[in-house]
Amino acid sequence: MSNGGQNPTARQIMERGLARRYRKERHFRALGITASCIGLIFLVLFFASIVSGGHSAFSQTYIALDISFDAQKISGGDTSPEALATGDYAGLVKSSLYTLFPDVKGRSDKRKLNRLISVGAEYQLQDKVMANPGLIGTEAQVWVPAAANVDMLVKGNIDRELDERSRPLGDKEIAWIDQLEQQGLLDRQFNTALFTNGDSRDPELAGIRGALMGSFYMLLVTIALAFPIGVAAAIYLEEFAPKNRWTDLIEVNINNLAAVPSIVFGLLGLAVFINFVGLPRSAPLVGGLVLALMTLPVIIIAARASIKAVPPSIREAALGVGASQMQTVFHHVLPLALPGIMTGTIIGMARALGESAPLLMIGMVAFVVDIPQSAMDPASALPVQIFLWADSPERAFVERTSAAILVLLGFLLMMNLAAVLLRRRFERKW
């Protein structure tokens, strides 16, 4: 074949194909960039909406009242701790308000005036007095939380232009609030109540502390159970178990378990832990048990994968100098697999933290005011709290819902960051 002029050479064919290959690559890159951008846009929109809706919940309107701690008014002059504990503190708030607004007369106007202040104010005063009985007989300026409607007005969530009848605050109340603001007796401060209080019917008093503690105890139970059991199971299955039909069956089942909808675990928890074993409803202990069952397959799968990723040459090296199977696993394989195991565990925990469906089944959706002191106390959890607040009609709960979501996202972000850092820190080094 010497008709070289006619037939294209290999190089010519290749060069023709080259342009096509580059075009394909460009298209693929464009596709990838588009996909990433779409994902990013949704993420930004999501965060923007939550942050814009939730950031205002981190501040709260407070009103300064000059309170005279008069024993006569509180408890008829009795200053014993018992009497102080059951005293009338609402009266203190009221009389302080009446001196501030001497023009307000009439029962209905007075009631309106009183409603500017949160019912939390009297508890705050009571706590103050109980903590320091020396206050009795003195006068002091105290910043007390304003009612949710006042807070909403100050944050601009109530439209002043609207007809009086269709807004929650009348013209008179708005005038009082403006007067307070002009006198410098009204201020927005950091909303500590959001982090120190349990749930409440009054939005300005509602906090996520109870839910946070519930989630904390629950995750404690989950990790205490799921981590050791999961790792032990993974080690056994990878390193010790004979490879036969039974272990295949177990493997298939574990993989299936990881795909079971979480609500099913909730039903299981209800049937087994509450109805059969008789553990208390709404307890983080039960929630933790259910979430442990749910996370277990995730941890087992992650742990098996990272144990499998340890090169067999390391095992052979250890066995070759006469280490037993157990020593090989615990001296060499496990330390090398641990970062991967931890990463898997953290991701499983993050999933457990964000889970709400199974908790609905075991009664952790209850309205719990008290902050749980142990894993046996009734509690809700952060995602369930979000669910509850999202259901409330009050405008003030809307921003608190977003704020709680932000807190939850913050925790999830921290956990995922920890997983990434762990992976970085212990990058494979063989």
Partner 1 sequence: MYGVNEGVAEDLRSGRFGAGFSGAEMLENSAAQRADSPDGAGTIGNIQAANPYMVASGVNVHYGDNHAIRNVSLEIGKNEVIALIGPSGCGKTTFLRCLNRMNDTIESARVTGEITLDGHEIHDKSLDVVALRARVGMVFQKPNPFPKSIYDNVAYGPRIHGLASTRAELDEIVHGSLQRAGLWEEVKNRLHEPGTGLSGGQQQRLCIARTIAVSPEVILMDEPCSALDPIATARIEDLIDELRRNYAIVIVTHSMQQAARVSQRTAYFHLGDLVEVDATNKVFSNPGHRLTEDYITGRFG
Nearer to partner 1, 78 or 251 (CB): 251
Closest distance between partner 1 and the C-beta of residue 319, in Å?
6
Nearer to partner 1, 179 or 247 (CB): 247
Instruction: Please state the φ and ψ torsions of residue 312, each to the nearest 5 degrees.
Output: -60, -25
258 binds partner 1 (CB under 8 A): no
Nearer to partner 1, 261 or 320 (CB): 320
243 binds partner 1 (CB under 8 A): yes
C-alpha–C-alpha distance, residues 248 and 242, integer Å: 10
Nearer to partner 1, 128 or 308 (CB): 308
> How many residues touch partner 1 (CB under 8 A)?
21
Closest distance between partner 1 and the C-beta of residue 422, in Å?
17
Nearer to partner 1, 192 or 313 (CB): 313
C-alpha–C-alpha distance, residues 331 and 343, integer Å: 20
Strand order across the beta sheet in which 59-68 lies: 139-145, 59-68, 186-190
**Sign of the torsion angle spanned by Cα atoms 380, 382, 388, 393:** positive
Is 379 within 8 Å of 283 (Cβ atoms)?
A: yes
C-alpha–C-alpha distance, residues 123 and 273, integer Å: 38
24 binds partner 1 (CB under 8 A): no
315 binds partner 1 (CB under 8 A): yes
Nearer to partner 1, 249 or 366 (CB): 249
313 binds partner 1 (CB under 8 A): yes
Closest distance between partner 1 and the C-beta of residue 305, in Å?
18
Instruction: Output Rg (C-alpha) for the chain, integer angstroms.
Output: 31
Q: Which of 90, 323, 338, 365 binds partner 1 (CB under 8 A)?
A: 323
321 binds partner 1 (CB under 8 A): yes
C-alpha–C-alpha distance, residues 107 and 115, integer Å: 12
45 binds partner 1 (CB under 8 A): no
SS3 content of the chain, % helix, strand, coil (to 5): 70, 5, 25
324 binds partner 1 (CB under 8 A): yes
Distance set, CA 176 to CA 117, 251, 356, 375 (Å): 12, 69, 43, 46
| Tokens (6 digits) for 84 | 């102080």
Nearer to partner 1, 255 or 327 (CB): 327
Cα angle for residues 325, 330, 332 (degrees, 5° grid) = 90
319 binds partner 1 (CB under 8 A): yes
Annotate 163-199 with three-state secondary structure. Answer: CHHHCCCCHHHHHHHHHHHHCCCEEEEECCHHHHCCC
Cα angle for residues 94, 99, 100 (degrees, 5° grid) = 95
312 binds partner 1 (CB under 8 A): yes
Cross-strand bridge partners of residue 65:
142
C-alpha–C-alpha distance, residues 207 and 194, integer Å: 4
Closest distance between partner 1 and the C-beta of residue 328, in Å?
10
Distance set, CA 402 to CA 145, 203, 321, 384 (Å): 20, 13, 59, 13
Nearer to partner 1, 162 or 317 (CB): 317
Q: Which of 172, 209, 332, 351 binds partner 1 (CB under 8 A)?
A: 332
Nearer to partner 1, 99 or 325 (CB): 325
Contact window for partner 1 (CB under 8 A) among 1-9, 41-49, 62-70, 312-320: 312-320
Q: Which of 52, 141, 327, 373 binds partner 1 (CB under 8 A)?
A: 327
Q: Which of 119, 208, 268, 336 binds partner 1 (CB under 8 A)?
A: 336
Q: Which of 65, 268, 303, 318 binds partner 1 (CB under 8 A)?
A: 318
Contact window for partner 1 (CB under 8 A) among 108-116, 259-267, 291-299, 308-316: 308-316
Q: Where does this chain bind partner 1 (CB under 8 A)?
A: 243, 311-324, 327, 331-332, 336, 429-430
